[in-house]
Amino acid sequence: MIPSHQIAELYDRLRIDVVAGDYVRLQRRGNRSVGLCPFHTEKTPSFTLTPDRNLFYCFGCQKGGSMIDFVMEMEKLSFPEAFALLAERAGMQVQHTGGSEGTERQTYLELYRRLADSFPPHPAAHRRRRAGARAPGRTGFPGGVARPLPRGLRAGRR
């Protein structure tokens, strides 16, 4: 979750016409900006920005929303990713509340993948192989019998 005060701060620092201006050639019309919609093909501009409220709306394809929605749509990002991108652009110091969830999940996935790689496909196959590998070793003991380990060295006993 991104705290609402951070979103408010972002909207204070960055304007949607500046952000959308990277993707769309905008024309000023009063307190609005219009341009050719980046989400559908058109010849006359129906993509409209209301910079005072940091909102966009397209009269052609009815797409609309906030500055963050715009970047999510343009860059195919999740909300926290789009927010992080804009916050960085605005030069904000962001506490990574929303972003860290993703990073943490990434770390777990990475860990899981590494674990999966280090084990054979099935646990039973793993046990069988270990048992097989130990068997020839038994004859290596004097008298062919494994003597019990001294007290204290036995696993699981204290």
- Residue closer to Zn ion, measured from CB, 37 or 84: 37
- Residues 40, 128, 129, 154: which binds Zn ion (CB under 5 A)? 40
Q: Which is nearest to 63 in space by CA: 85, 83, 48, 43?
A: 48
First to last CA, the chain: 48
Quick one: 58 or 84, whose CB is closer to Zn ion?
58
From 10, 14, 36, 39, residue interacting with Zn ion (rule: CB under 5 A):
39
Classify residue 34 as exposed, middle or buried by CB count within 10 Å of its CB (0-12, 13-18, 19+). buried
Segment interacting with Zn ion (CB under 5 A) among 55-63, 88-96, 137-145, 148-156: 55-63
Interacting span for Zn ion (CB under 5 A) from 3-11, 58-66, 108-116, 124-132: 58-66
**Residue 58 binds to Zn ion (criterion: CB under 5 A):** yes
Q: Given the DSSP bridges, would you call strands 26-29 and 47-50 parallel, antiparallel or unpaired? A: unpaired
User: Which one-letter DSSP state was computed for residue 52?
Assistant: G
60 belongs to the binding site for Zn ion (CB under 5 A): yes
Whether 19 and 67 have beta carbons less than 8 Å apart is answered as: yes
CB of 85 to Zn ion, least distance (A): 22
Report the nearest approach of Zn ion to the CB of residue 61 (Å): 3
Structure tokens at 6: 């951070």
* Interface residue with Zn ion, options 2, 26, 37, 87 (CB under 5 A): 37
* Angle between the N-to-C axes of helices 67-75 and 4-13, in degrees from 0 to 180, rounded to the nearest 10: 90
- Scan residues 127-146 and list those touching Zn ion (CB under 5 A): none
Q: Which residues bind Zn ion (CB under 5 A)?
A: 37, 39-40, 58, 60-61
